[in-house]
Amino acid sequence: MSATYEGGCFCRKVRYRLTSAPMFVHCCHCRNCQNQTGSAFVINAIIETGRIELLAGRPEITTVESGSGRPHDVYRCPDCRTAVWSDYGRRPGMRFVRVGTLDDPATLPPDVHIFTRSKLPWVRLPEGVPAYDVYYETDRLWPAASLERRRAALG
Ligand SMILES: [Zn+2]
Ligand SMILES: [Zn+2]
């Protein structure tokens, strides 16, 4: 059984399909993500750019600054302005897809919770999912196959 990962923006002008499962899924509780989404956290599926198949529409880029000071390009529907994915730090081979834009966001639960130091106090984290005050070492957490994909994606 293989899941299909289709999604899109709120007005449905932008539609996409992920052609495989992502490498890893982040739930980020940092202040920037809270501020940019207007919510408690963001859920990002990290996947190769080439595994995002655009089915309709063409997202537009809004550039903001990331926490590290590098550019963070947010890809938004030109009409309803829903953010569908991000490029953190201009790494052309890799995208952070907003899991909330999937038709079925429950198919991609977080593999890790990060920046829990700014987690809202009423959010309870699930047991058994790693959680970090700030960030973590990719090499220690990611499955070998995902690390291999990441190396290939970053060139
Ligand atoms: Zn839209
Ligand atoms: Zn964040």
The pLDDT tens digits for 95-113 are: 999 999 999 999 999 999 9
Residue 116 above 90 pLDDT? yes
Contact criterion met (CB below 8 Å) for 74 and 14: no
Report the chain's mean pLDDT, rounded to a whole number. 96
CA distances from 4 to 12, 54, 76 (A): 17, 14, 22
Q: Which ligand is nearest to the CA of 83?
A: 1
Q: Which ligand is nearest to the CA of 76?
A: 1
Residue 56 above 50 pLDDT? yes
CA of 66 to the centre of ligand 1 (A): 24
pLDDT, mean of residues 119-123:
98
Which residues, by Cβ under 5 Å, contact ligand 1, an ion? 9, 11, 13, 77, 79-80
Contact criterion met (CB below 8 Å) for 33 and 41: yes
Per-residue model confidence as pLDDT tens digits over 130-144: 999 999 999 999 999
Distance between the two ends of the chain, CA-based, in angstroms?
31
Per-residue model confidence as pLDDT tens digits over 59-91: 999 999 887 889 999 999 999 999 999 999 999
CA of 129 to the centre of ligand 2 (A): 17
CA of 76 to the centre of ligand 1 (A): 8
Which pLDDT score is estimated for 36? 94
Supply the DSSP string of 98-141, one letter for each residue. EGGGBSSGGGS--SEEE-GGG--TTPPPPTTS-B-SS---HHHH
Which pLDDT score is estimated for 1? 44
Contact criterion met (CB below 8 Å) for 49 and 93: yes
CA of 35 to the centre of ligand 1 (A): 20
CA of 27 to the centre of ligand 1 (A): 23
Q: What is the pTM of this model?
A: 0.95
